[in-house]
Amino acid sequence: MILKSLYLQDFGVFQGSFDENYVDLEPRTKYNKKRPIILFGGLNGAGKTTTLTAVRLALYGKQSLGRAVSVQAYHDFLLDSIHKPKGSVLKPNTAGVKLDFNFGRQGEVIDYTVKRVWTVRGNSVFESVEIYQNGEYLQNLTDQQKQSFLNELIPIGVADLFFFDGEKIAELADDSDNTALADAINRLLGLDIIDRLKADLGVYLRDQKRDQLPSDIKKEIETLEAEYQSLYAAYQAKLSDIDTLKIETTELEATKERLTQNINELGGAWASNKQEAEAKEQALRAKRNELQNQIRNLIADAAPLAFAKTQLEALLKQLSAEQQTKRQLVVQVELRKQLNKVQRSLLKSLGKEHQKAIEASITASMADSSASNNAADTEIIHDISDSEFNRLNHLITKVVPEQQARVKTLSTELESVEEELANVGLNLSRAPDERRISNFVTELAGLERTLGQRQVEVKLKTEEAKSTLRDAMDNLRKLRDKEKEFSSVSNLNQAVTLADRTRGLLEGFAVKTREQRIQQLEQEFIKSFAKLARKDDLMITAKIDPDTFNVSLVDGKGNIIDKKKLSAGEKQIYAIAMLEALGRTSGRNLPIIIDTPLGRLDSRHRENLVKNYFPTASHQVLILSTDTEVDEDFYKDLSPEISHAFEVAYDPEAGSSGYYEGYFWRH
């Protein structure tokens, strides 16, 4: 299958006709090589995801929104999808999507066009679907038959493996009860068709066997079946009631949203938080006063001395030198005393005839001592005591820097408080007079009460429906037991015998097929995960239980890994690897559309995905990305595989978006 062209008419943020919003999706050949990647770049909100939405909508209609979506919810979606022009009085009442693609069937490539257009008339939405095969309109098909035709071409369960976005990846990554994976595998393997065939054969067998039962037993069985049909019809009716309540709940929620928006436009969002804002303002004012007092106390103490840093350093240097000089003078005085004692002792011992020699020697020693300590270099100006010097030294080297840092911290905190006060004051000024919004608030309160009642009713009806379904199943079990009790006495003809054997054969076939395909899926997962994971990731393999579809991740040492403990990026890599493995196991040759795939990945996982997944994922790969996902470096890595690129750009003046060939920085 190749997606060839997509056309949009007043769809979402795209304004204008099909011809004005046309995008070429077919891979192009460059340098004798068909390149698979078509890259769409757009900022958030520009409308790039609309491409994926439009493709799915064109092919699957209501089913593109999910299985349990009501007609009313689908019509609401279509209504909301019609472009709303900026500043225009006349708004379009019609929108549509059109998709050209080709598909290989039985060795023949067939061109298809599906065109889906919807129009609003009053409060109703009218949708029309047209399908063209090789340019010829497929006539005599109802809308339901047209959708069945498209579903047969590309079943939506299989397409989910190829057209997926971040939500699909997250669903599979966080699939704790294996529901999403089991559904994908069943649809992938066609087991749902086998189950339907088994059910049809079961109906045939029951009808054939029942005709051969005694009349009284047959009547009893017919009574049980009538009771079952009645109970099941009651169950279906309750489901219908639930759907009606859900639709009403949806409408109430929409009304609530509109009413909330009206209140917000009148400043209600600010009014609802007014008391909280006033309390916060009072607390901030108290904190501001406390911070200001602390700063004042520091300024009244030693903190201002920090402005005279150079002078303080010079003073401390002078005081240190003076203290050193004073200590040296004390030493000299003490030394002189000791030398005088020595002189007297030498004179006494040697006699006065040696007096001159002794005095000369002592005088020379004193001169040497004075020359070595430079005692006369520093003039004593301040002459402070040692305790005074220690106090000043502590003040200058410790107290002043600490108080300076504290003033800086408190000032930063004060600036933050002042900014918060300004913001709170602005919010309080936005709060309206409560009398302006009181009627809206009263209406909103009543609406919320009604909404709460409907939600309770939905819960009660759901419980009633479950109870009715249990009664129906009990009745059906009695019916089957009764049929089984008398089935052995029936004389079965050859057709019944063959049908019975075929049913048993189908069960065995389903088991064998499931086991073989799951083994293939496990091997494909190992290949996919190995090329997407980082080198320092665990070597992970997967074991899938064929009965429960429980996935056990096993590391290289054989230890079971809890999926819940994987990081967000590892879960995403696991999910993408599983989606690729499912796609390859399906044997389908379909394009891949992937929306914003790199958001939760680190740089190494992103690099592996860009280099090892995108270029080989399929023969046609549509990547919808922001400029921070496929950036200039990744674009360069992908460029040998890029066929062409489009930028989805939003024009705020026009209030609409458009497709422009190129990619952010490349035009």
Evaluate whether residue 654 is within a structural domain.
Answer: no
For residue 119, pLDDT beyond 90:
yes
For residue 9, pLDDT beyond 90:
yes
Higher-scoring residue by pLDDT: 646, 215: 646
Amino acid 373: pLDDT = 55
Q: How confident is the model at residue 102 (pLDDT cuts 50, 70, 90)?
A: very high
Q: Strands 163-164, 592-595: parallel, antiparallel or unpaired by DSSP?
A: parallel
pLDDT tens readout for residues 149-177: 888 788 776 777 777 766 666 666 666 66
Task: Specify the amino acid at residue 469.
Answer: L
- Residue pair 614/630 in contact by the 8 Å Cβ criterion: no
Amino acid 499: pLDDT = 58
Q: How confident is the model at residue 353 (pLDDT cuts 50, 70, 90)?
A: confident
pLDDT tens readout for residues 294-303: 888 888 888 7
pLDDT tens readout for residues 467-489: 888 888 888 788 777 766 655 54
Q: How confident is the model at residue 375 (pLDDT cuts 50, 70, 90)?
A: very low
Question: What are the backbone angles phi and psi of residue 69, rounded to the nearest 5°?
Answer: -100, 130
Q: Token match 């015998």: residue?
A: 497
Please check whether residues 253 and 352 belong to one and the same domain.
no
Give the chain's domain count: 2
Amino acid 425: pLDDT = 72
In this predicted structure, which of 85-89, 118-122, 537-541 has the lowest mean pLDDT?
537-541
For residue 211, pLDDT beyond 60:
no
For residue 269, pLDDT beyond 50:
no
Question: For the chain, what percentages of helix, strand and coil (3-state, to nearest 5) are there?
Answer: 65, 15, 20
In this predicted structure, which of 145-159, 287-301, 412-426, 493-507 has the lowest mean pLDDT?
493-507
From 440, 470, 487, give the residue that closes a domain.
487
Please check whether residues 395 and 291 belong to one and the same domain.
yes
For residue 92, pLDDT beyond 80:
yes
pLDDT tens readout for residues 35-77: 999 999 888 888 888 888 999 999 999 888 876 677 888 898 9
Please check whether residues 327 and 417 belong to one and the same domain.
yes
Task: Specify the amino acid at residue 223.
Answer: T
pLDDT tens readout for residues 610-620: 888 888 888 99
For residue 382, pLDDT beyond 70:
yes
For residue 609, pLDDT beyond 90:
no
Please check whether residues 372 and 420 belong to one and the same domain.
yes
- Residue pair 191/515 in contact by the 8 Å Cβ criterion: no
Please check whether residues 257 and 364 belong to one and the same domain.
no
Q: How far apart are CA 646 and CA 661, in angstroms?
A: 4
Higher-scoring residue by pLDDT: 351, 179: 351
Amino acid 97: pLDDT = 96
For residue 515, pLDDT beyond 60:
yes
Amino acid 491: pLDDT = 46
Task: Specify the amino acid at residue 59.
Answer: L
- Do you know the residue count of the chain? 667
- Residue-number span of the structural domain to which 225 is assigned: 217-266+453-487
Evaluate whether residue 176 is within a structural domain.
Answer: no
User: Residues 178-185: what's their mean pLDDT?
Assistant: 67
Evaluate whether residue 652 is within a structural domain.
Answer: no
Q: Where are the alpha helices (DSSP H) in 587-631?
A: 603-612
Amino acid 535: pLDDT = 58
Evaluate whether residue 289 is within a structural domain.
Answer: yes
Evaluate whether residue 598 is within a structural domain.
Answer: no
For residue 253, pLDDT beyond 90:
no
In this predicted structure, which of 215-229, 492-506, 591-605 has the lowest mean pLDDT?
492-506
Q: How far apart are CA 207 and CA 201, in angstroms?
A: 10
DSSP 120-156: EETTEEEEEEEEEETTEE--S--HHHHHHHHHHHS-H
Please check whether residues 350 and 469 belong to one and the same domain.
no
From 362, 395, 430, give the residue that closes a domain.
430
Amino acid 257: pLDDT = 72
Q: How confident is the model at residue 423 (pLDDT cuts 50, 70, 90)?
A: confident
Please check whether residues 414 and 481 belong to one and the same domain.
no
Amino acid 270: pLDDT = 44
Please check whether residues 374 and 475 belong to one and the same domain.
no
From 441, 466, 487, give the residue that closes a domain.
487
- Which percentage of the chain shows pLDDT scores above 90? 14
3-state class (DSSP) for residue 455:
helix
Average pLDDT over all residues of the chain: 78
Evaluate whether residue 550 is within a structural domain.
Answer: no
For residue 233, pLDDT beyond 50:
yes
Please check whether residues 320 and 417 belong to one and the same domain.
yes
Q: Which residues of 202-221 are buried (b: 16+ CB within 10 A; e: fewer)?
A: eebbbebbbeebeeeeeebb
User: Residues 310-324: what's their mean pLDDT?
Assistant: 81
Amino acid 10: pLDDT = 94
DSSP 67: T
Please check whether residues 418 and 288 belong to one and the same domain.
yes
Evaluate whether residue 14 is within a structural domain.
Answer: no
Please check whether residues 298 and 334 belong to one and the same domain.
yes
Q: Strands 33-34, 37-42: parallel, antiparallel or unpaired by DSSP?
A: unpaired
Evaluate whether residue 260 is within a structural domain.
Answer: yes
Amino acid 320: pLDDT = 82
Q: How confident is the model at residue 4 (pLDDT cuts 50, 70, 90)?
A: very high
For residue 414, pLDDT beyond 70:
yes
Please check whether residues 253 and 296 belong to one and the same domain.
no
Amino acid 244: pLDDT = 75
For residue 139, pLDDT beyond 50:
yes
